[in-house]
Amino acid sequence: NAGVMQNPRHLVRRRGQEARLRCSPMKGHSHVYWYRQLPEEGLKFMVYLQKENIIDESGMPKERFSAEFPKEGPSILRIQQVVRGDSAAYFCASSPRGQGYTGELFFGEGSRLTVL
Amino acid sequence: RKEVEQDPGPFNVPEGATVAFNCTYSNSASQSFFWYRQDCRKEPKLLMSVYSSGNEDGRFTAQLNRASQYISLLIRDSKLSDSATYLCVVPVAGGTSYGKLTFGQGTILTVHP
């Protein structure tokens, strides 16, 4: 499957624990985006990364959330000290180009985080 | 005005019906627009792109009215498999031209036999 791969698909954490969500972009894509979908709400942009660079993190909460896209390996969205309000579906998307690209984003199946 | 606003529905229509969804957007500088489809608990998938006045693909027609900042999606001859949430999507205001998108809340469509 050459599509965007996300894991885990489902993750349960207790309040105060850490959540790590991973995303491998589509083959040939080097631009990764993370979106969050809260229950009954639309998708919200969180962060845009290229390999080893965070390009735009304007949608990331100021505390507890971080993202990276290392030279080797998947992009990781890390949530420290999770709270119940972090329960959501986290979608990763990729594109073949960055600046100037106005085409389709290819989404992974999402990681559903439940905080108990 | 919200950046992207949609009628959430739900729309319940019989097979074979024609149904139209509306979407308004606030960023008058937007040049590209999208309709994505999202099935229950699945990822969004691109349905149509709209770069000029409109686009047609089989049973689906998207129309753009820049003066009114309004996009519509028309589905003709509805099928059971069209049941999904339809997301109106616009690039984020501010001149960015990468995959930073604003998603509407979505319009729920249920097609029944």
Q: Residue A40: its pLDDT value, please?
A: 79
> Could you report the per-residue pLDDT of B56-77, keeping only the tens digit for each?
999 999 999 989 999 999 999 9
Mutant choice from B39, B43, B45, B47 vs A, greatest count of A C-beta within 10 A: B43
Closest CA–CA distance from residue B88 to any residue of chain A (Å) = 10
User: Is pLDDT above 60 for B9?
Assistant: yes
| Rounded-to-integer distance, Cα B14 and Cα A55, Å | 46
Written as tens digits, the pLDDT of chain A (116 aa) is 579 999 999 999 999 999 999 999 999 898 999 999 998 788 999 999 998 999 999 999 999 999 999 999 999 999 999 999 999 999 999 998 776 677 788 999 999 999 99
Q: Which residue of B has its CA nearest to A93?
A: B99
The residues facing B60 across adjacent strands are B57, B75
Mutation target vs A (from B57, B87, B92, B98; most A CBs, 10 A cutoff): B98
User: Which are the contacts of A45, defined by CB distance < 8 A and separation ≥ 6?
Assistant: A33, A35, A58, A59, B92, B100, B101, B102
Chain B closest CA to A23's CA: distance in Å? 14
pLDDT per position as a tens digit, B73-91: 999 999 999 999 999 998 8
- Please give, rounded to a whole number of angstroms, the shortest distance from the CA of A96 to a CA of chain B: 10
